[in-house]
A and B are shown apart, each in its own frame.
Chain A
Amino acid sequence: MAHGSPVLKLYKSIIEDVIEGVRELFTEEGIDEQVLKDLKQLWETKVMQSKATEGFFRHSQHSSQFTLQLPHTSHRVLQTSSVIPAGRGLQHFTAAGLGASQPGATLALPSGMAYPIHVPAGMTLQITSGQLYKVNVPVMVTQGRDANILQLPIQQIFQSVGQPSVLHTNVASVAPVNVPSVQATADVLQTQKTAVQQTVAVQPTATENKHLETSTSTALVQQPTESQQQIAPDAVQNQYAESTEKSQHGSLHTPVFNSESSEVFSPSDFVEANNSSSLLLDVEGQLDTEPQESLQQQVSDDIIEMIMMGKSLDDNTVLKDEDTVAPTDKLEPTEQVESNLQSEKDICSDIKGIIQLDETGDASPKEEMSHTKDTEENEFVDIIESEDLKVLEDEDEGEDEEGDSISNMDSGSSSCDNEEPQIDIVEEDPLNSDDDVSEQDVPDLFDTDNVIVCQYDKIHRSKNKWKFYLKDGVMSFEGKDYVFAKAIGDAEW
């Protein structure tokens, strides 16, 4: 688990760097900024989807997972009640595993989780669907009906507009599992959404306590959210762009959120960070029920960066209008969900199709090796070369000798050879006839997709024993990616 996170973080940083680096070029070329964002979205999506990074990213159409990546932080209080939504795809519940504050700990929360989770600052939340939420402040994700999470001065909830939809599904998925208090899903969602909105708003302002309060005005929030998001670095925009791409699942939720906005804001429905977490969850098909669980996240003072790949604000607004249902009413959402699911599935399948090209494509992995020493070979070579010279001399001197020796090998053609040294053709047994020279390539050991791309310090061989001293590499092992600064290996050929 812990392995994946540093890799993922590295990849993210790489993506960021590259995008930043080419930003200027793009603008010079006259290419729209949007394209760049799309690029980034696609890239990140692919990375997530590829499952090459540790499994905190399960792309499951049916399960929404809430994955918390916890960077190295001192305090982490993760309490998770292992609530696993029934019948909801994958649930990775690695909360337990996150006991120690390991860098990049990954917590995959099943959708509909109902537990309080304290997310420390600097955490990056990722949804299976690829939505990322980077929380720079500690976030308390709790399911607190009663708790008024907003107590924390700092706001968290970074929820893109699209998120609400995620939340929605989350809620839905959670609902069956938990029959929690929040009956007013909409309310919850609402609050969540608003909370999110708040969060967004918070970003520019840096500290807010009130987001919850303002939650009621969803529409308003959306706007500020939007603007806020504008404020946010391009990433956010990218997120939106991505969200547009991935809007499907979000659609349903948005209306739900919206509809409920003004109402309920019961403390129990407080969904702050939880919203974000729920947003993180994969929305697909979660709309069966609208879970009332409210996840609360408390973010400390820092601003939360939202990296969202969710529905765009536009979609949200549209959905708002639709304003489908009361929490209990699933019909419309269901329909929408279905459609969304379908589209999402399509996307997923496409993505999967794309992703599986890992082997051939992404990094064009190849092993770089160099043979530094070959003492054994050298000996032979010396002998060979001396012998070689001898042979050459012999050949020059006497065709007969050659012819004789050769003819000994090949039946029949000796006399001819002696006469015409140039005609060696007769001697050759066409290799094609060598059916006996079987395709011995016994193993094509290269069937493995495990590849390492790295630099070498030293490669050594003795007879058939190899020793590798490698450095600075990335490897794909059994589908997962790992990065290393140094690697030592032994092998026998």
Chain B
Amino acid sequence: MDADSDVALDILITNVVCVFRTRCHLNLRKIALEGANVIYKRDVGKVLMKLRKPRITATIWSSGKVICTGATSEEEAKFGARRLARSLQKLGFQVIFTDFKVVNVLAVCNMPFEIRLPEFTKNNRPHASYEPELHPAVCYRIKTLRATLQIFSTGSITVTGPNVKAVASAVEQIYPFVFESRKIL
């Protein structure tokens, strides 16, 4: 069974979210006026800066905290974050690239079979929660990995976890259980 879970499943990382600190106060107004490709959300006190190269959108707070989303890999996320910090530095702020951390990784995986959700839920009571009237997918949480999986009846699974490794492990973990409750045509 475990060996089966190492099936060559394509896990597509769709989104990597990371944060970093600039260790200096940022003047949002200045960024908004002088920066390129920025959206100033004055009402919530954020500046969005979009990058093209690694397709990345960064949310910048005046405290110096920056959250970077949209990357497709951890490497790319770091790369983009550094680019961003660099552009902030160019704007004149004494930016120090610190506390870089990948906060969230979103991945998608497709099972080659369909899944019977009610059955799956019953078998995985504590971890799985299923409320079909609210959401068509089963929400399966793996506490140890701090990962959450959303399992759809089509066999498509969405995984979110703190890093890519956790996501991969989560998929591996869930495979056998999902395999049990698969729909056999």
Question: B101 contacts A428, CB within 8 Å?
Answer: no
How far apart are B89's CB and chain A's nearest CB, in angstroms? 6
> In the complex, A384→B52 CA distance in Å?
20
Whether A431 contacts B82 in the complex (CB less than 8 A), given A374-B39, A493-B50, comes out as: yes
Q: Mark A422-437, 1 if CB is under 8 A from B, else 0.
A: 0011011111001001
Partner of B86, one of A388, A424, A431: A431
Partner of A425, one of B53, B57, B98: B98
Contacts of A402 in B (CB 8 A): 99, 101
How far apart are A49's CB and chain B's nearest CB, in angstroms? 30
Question: B96 contacts A388, CB within 8 Å?
Answer: no
Contacts of A493 in B (CB 8 A): 37, 50
Question: A441 contacts B36, CB within 8 Å?
Answer: yes
Q: Mark B95-127, 1 if CB is under 8 A from A, else 0.
A: 111111111100000000000000000000000
> In the complex, A442→B23 CA distance in Å?
27
Contacts of A448 in B (CB 8 A): none
How far apart are A418's CB and chain B's nearest CB, in angstroms? 14
Whether A380 contacts B57 in the complex (CB less than 8 A), given A431-B96, A437-B86, comes out as: yes
Question: B103 contacts A377, CB within 8 Å?
Answer: no
How far apart are B80's CB and chain A's nearest CB, in angstroms? 9
Nearest-neighbor residue (CB-CB) of A427 within chain B: B98
Q: Confirm or deny: B17 has a beta carbon within 8 angstroms of a beta carbon on chain A.
A: yes
Whether A384 contacts B17 in the complex (CB less than 8 A), given A371-B39, A431-B97, comes out as: yes
Determine the interface band of chain B, counting residues with CB < 8 A from chain A. Answer: 35 or more
How far apart are B104's CB and chain A's nearest CB, in angstroms? 5
Q: Confirm or deny: B60 has a beta carbon within 8 angstroms of a beta carbon on chain A.
A: no
How far apart are B82's CB and chain A's nearest CB, in angstroms? 5
> In the complex, A374→B15 CA distance in Å?
18
Q: Confirm or deny: A331 has a beta carbon within 8 angstroms of a beta carbon on chain B.
A: no
Interface residues of A in 370-415 (CB under 8 A from B): 371, 374, 377, 380-381, 383-384, 387-388, 390-391, 402, 405-406, 409
Partner of B96, one of A374, A387, A391, A428: A428
Question: B36 contacts A437, CB within 8 Å?
Answer: no
Question: A437 contacts B39, CB within 8 Å?
Answer: no
> In the complex, A200→B62 CA distance in Å?
65
Q: Confirm or deny: B141 has a beta carbon within 8 angstroms of a beta carbon on chain A.
A: no
Question: B98 contacts A387, CB within 8 Å?
Answer: no
Partner of B59, one of A384, A406, A428, A429: A384
Contacts of B36 in A (CB 8 A): 441, 444, 446
> In the complex, A380→B160 CA distance in Å?
13
Contacts of B147 in A (CB 8 A): none
Whether A406 contacts B96 in the complex (CB less than 8 A), given A388-B19, A440-B53, comes out as: no
> In the complex, A371→B57 CA distance in Å?
15
Q: Confirm or deny: B41 has a beta carbon within 8 angstroms of a beta carbon on chain A.
A: yes
Whether A388 contacts B67 in the complex (CB less than 8 A), given A424-B99, A434-B82, comes out as: yes
Nearest-neighbor residue (CB-CB) of B85 within chain A: A431
Question: B69 contacts A380, CB within 8 Å?
Answer: yes
Contacts of B70 in A (CB 8 A): 380
How far apart are B27's CB and chain A's nearest CB, in angstroms? 18
> In the complex, A384→B160 CA distance in Å?
12
Contacts of A430 in B (CB 8 A): 96-97
Whether A431 contacts B95 in the complex (CB less than 8 A), given A371-B41, A405-B101, A409-B78, comes out as: yes
Q: Confirm or deny: B138 has a beta carbon within 8 angstroms of a beta carbon on chain A.
A: no
Contacts of B102 in A (CB 8 A): 405
Contacts of B163 in A (CB 8 A): 405
Nearest-neighbor residue (CB-CB) of A461 within chain B: B39
> In the complex, A207→B36 CA distance in Å?
61
How far apart are B29's CB and chain A's nearest CB, in angstroms? 14
Question: A377 contacts B17, CB within 8 Å?
Answer: no
> In the complex, A446→B101 CA distance in Å?
33
Question: A380 contacts B17, CB within 8 Å?
Answer: yes
Q: Confirm or deny: B83 has a beta carbon within 8 angstroms of a beta carbon on chain A.
A: yes
Partner of B48, one of A377, A405, A428, A437: A377
Question: A424 contacts B98, CB within 8 Å?
Answer: yes
Whether A406 contacts B100 in the complex (CB less than 8 A), given A371-B41, A434-B82, comes out as: yes
27 contacts across the A-B interface (CB closer than 8 A): A371-B39, A371-B48, A374-B39, A374-B41, A374-B48, A377-B48, A380-B17, A380-B70, A383-B160, A384-B59, A384-B67, A384-B103, A391-B19, A391-B101, A402-B101, A409-B100, A424-B21, A425-B96, A428-B96, A428-B97, A431-B96, A431-B97, A434-B82, A440-B53, A441-B87, A461-B39, A493-B37
Given A380-B70, A424-B23, 9 other A-B residues pairs in contact with their CB atoms under 8 A: A377-B59, A383-B17, A384-B69, A387-B103, A390-B103, A406-B99, A406-B101, A440-B83, A441-B36
**Interface residues of A, Cβ cutoff 8 Å to B:** 371, 374, 377, 380-381, 383-384, 387-388, 390-391, 402, 405-406, 409, 424-425, 427-431, 434, 437, 439-442, 444, 446, 461, 493
The 4 closest A-B pairs by CB, nearest first: A424-B98, A428-B98, A437-B86, A387-B104
